[in-house]
Chains A and B, each alone.
Chain A
Amino acid sequence: MAVTTLKIDGKEVSANEDETILDVAFQAGIKIPTLCHIEGLTDIGACRMCIVEVAGSNKLQPACTTKVKDGMEITTQTARLKKYRKMVLEMLFSERNHVCAVCVSNGNCDLQTLAVEHDLTHVRMPYLYPKTEIDASHEWFALDQNRCVLCQRCVRVCDEIEGAHVWDVSGRGVQSRVITGLNEPWADSDTCTSCGKCVQVCPTGALSNKGKATGEMTKHREFLPYLAQRRHDHK
């Protein structure tokens, strides 16, 4: 594997050519905000929180899906990046119905944490207040579309790690929705093994265990890097 050298926030780092900017920054102790990324699953660049500036290009690049190149000069924290990351968050909040005060994930939510880290004290876009569904048909789990950020972590963990591929995304743009099976109630899915992995990786209160009250849902993700490694070793 060819080794390259590059600069992130002025710091010289070396990396393998098949690594992403996000991997290399992480190893160098440089924190880039992420939402759809989760260690152990294939990155898809869905949320755009991890955008960075690359010298010589006016285009902002998602760090999680952009591979490093020799001589790259990357900047991860600028006023421009902060502005766009904040806008991404505002759009996510305005597109669904996030009522943190009565959410199972209140206090344990990746979206909320990102809002705090970006000093987001209000949302400038008008709220859309879409009419959204809750699927509580599964014996143990519930899907609340009000809180979904379309990160597709559920889709990927179920496909790549559990091998069941229960989840997909239907529709386009703001009408996009995660669906189970062929858009049937979760309980009717023949392939769901009820492993709960999707619930644990979901960054928000969109997927939760049933019976949780406000703020009671905490997620446990320790299993993921381990299982991902095991899958990798078997390939």
Chain B
Amino acid sequence: MSKTRFATVWMDGCSGCHMSFLDMDERILQIAPLIDLVYSPLVDAKVFPENVDVVLIEGAVSSEEDLEKILKVRTRSKFLIALGDCAVTSNVPGMRNQFTVEEVETRAYIENAGYNQHIPHEVIPALLPKSRPVHEFVNVDLFVPGCPPPADAIFHVLSELLAGRVPDATEVSKLTRFGK
């Protein structure tokens, strides 16, 4: 049987969802033989490949880079999962949404900087006006809320998918929720 081409993407999140993924501990050994990890912050690949079967997205869409990335990821993936509250609701990254980008940048780079106060315009991707959930930009096939979603929820979802079944919201709701 061919392995599932599996990827994980890290956008505007704290990496806690990826940590929770690793928290599956020894259960990762049950999953590992069934997948080919083709792209992830956990491996070296620099370019998101074509023909990905399942992708986990951590983080909200907050910058121009995130937006470019999620549009590309969507066209190259069959089953896209919004993993965690930042991807699902914008969560903590979205707390800046009550302010303008200019206010946020002034606060971060000028008022709170002790040295070399200036707003960077190179290297750091430009912020979008608001940090928003993934499904406001692309179609999402499954939502797994939680901050971070517990390892049990991630394991359930992945084992279902690898067994050829689509996990449903009722089952997901038994294992996780907003803020879990």
Chain B residues in 8 Å Cβ range of A126: 132, 136
A103 CB contact (under 8 Å) in B82, B177, B179: B179
Chain B residues within 8 Å of chain A by Cβ, number: 28
Chain A residues in 8 Å Cβ range of B132: 126-127
A-B contact count (CB 8 A): 74
Chain A residues in 8 Å Cβ range of B135: 122, 124
Instruction: Please determine whether B140 and A122 come into contact, CB atoms closer than 8 angstroms.
Output: yes
Chain B residues in 8 Å Cβ range of A123: 89, 133
Q: Taking the complex as formed, is A42 at the interface, i.e. its CB lies under 8 A from any CB of chain B? A: no
Q: Taking the complex as formed, is B170 at the interface, i.e. its CB lies under 8 A from any CB of chain A? A: yes
Least Cβ–Cβ distance between B154 and chain A, in angstroms:
14
Chain B residues in 8 Å Cβ range of A115: 177-178
Instruction: Please determine whether B97 and A129 come into contact, CB atoms closer than 8 angstroms.
Output: yes
Listed residue (B136, B140, B170, B179) with the most chain A CB atoms within 10 angstroms of its CB = B179
Chain A residues in 8 Å Cβ range of B169: 119, 121
B92 CB contact (under 8 Å) in A99, A119, A124, A132: A99
Complex CA distance for A121 and B133, rounded to whole angstroms: 12
Complex CA distance for A139 and B2, rounded to whole angstroms: 64
Interface of chain A residues 71 through 107 with chain B (CB within 8 A)? 93, 97-103, 106-107
B144 CB contact (under 8 Å) in A93, A99, A116, A121: A121
Instruction: Please determine whether B90 and A127 come into contact, CB atoms closer than 8 angstroms.
Output: yes
Instruction: Please determine whether A122 and B179 come into contact, CB atoms closer than 8 angstroms.
Output: no
Least Cβ–Cβ distance between B104 and chain A, in angstroms:
13
Complex CA distance for A106 and B173, rounded to whole angstroms: 16
Across the two chains, which residue of chain A brings its CB closest to B171?
A119
Instruction: Please determine whether B177 and A99 come into contact, CB atoms closer than 8 angstroms.
Output: no
Instruction: Please determine whether B98 and A122 come into contact, CB atoms closer than 8 angstroms.
Output: no
Instruction: Please determine whether A121 and B173 come into contact, CB atoms closer than 8 angstroms.
Output: yes
Complex CA distance for A120 and B135, rounded to whole angstroms: 14
1/0 contact string of A137-167 vs chain B (CB within 8 Å): 0000000000000000000000000000000
Interface of chain B residues 162 through 180 with chain A (CB within 8 A)? 169-170, 172-173, 177-179
1/0 contact string of B64-106 vs chain A (CB within 8 Å): 0000000000000000001001001111101101100000000
Instruction: Please determine whether A119 and B130 come into contact, CB atoms closer than 8 angstroms.
Output: no
Instruction: Please determine whether B130 and A129 come into contact, CB atoms closer than 8 angstroms.
Output: yes
Complex CA distance for A121 and B136, rounded to whole angstroms: 14
Size category, A interface? 20 to 34
Instruction: Please determine whether A122 and B89 come into contact, CB atoms closer than 8 angstroms.
Output: yes
Instruction: Please determine whether B178 and A112 come into contact, CB atoms closer than 8 angstroms.
Output: yes
Instruction: Please determine whether B97 and A101 come into contact, CB atoms closer than 8 angstroms.
Output: no
Chain B residues in 8 Å Cβ range of A106: 179
Q: Taking the complex as formed, is A131 at the interface, i.e. its CB lies under 8 A from any CB of chain B? A: yes
1/0 contact string of B130-168 vs chain A (CB within 8 Å): 101101100010011101000000000000000000000
Least Cβ–Cβ distance between B81 and chain A, in angstroms:
11
A121 CB contact (under 8 Å) in B90, B95, B172, B179: B172
Instruction: Please determine whether B85 and A100 come into contact, CB atoms closer than 8 angstroms.
Output: yes
Instruction: Please determine whether B94 and A122 come into contact, CB atoms closer than 8 angstroms.
Output: no
Complex CA distance for A126 and B89, rounded to whole angstroms: 10
Across the two chains, which residue of chain A brings its CB closest to B99?
A131
Across the two chains, which residue of chain B brings its CB closest to A102?
B92
Instruction: Please determine whether B173 and A127 come into contact, CB atoms closer than 8 angstroms.
Output: no
Binding site for A on B (CB under 8 A): 82, 85, 88-92, 94-95, 97-98, 130, 132-133, 135-136, 140, 143-145, 147, 169-170, 172-173, 177-179
| Closest 7 A/B residue pairs (Cβ) | A100-B179, A101-B147, A129-B97, A121-B143, A122-B143, A100-B178, A119-B169
Binding site for B on A (CB under 8 A): 93, 97-103, 106-107, 112, 115-116, 119-124, 126-127, 129-132
New A-B pairs, 8, CB < 8 Å, besides A99-B94, A112-B177, A127-B97 = A97-B97, A100-B177, A101-B92, A121-B88, A121-B143, A122-B89, A123-B89, A129-B94
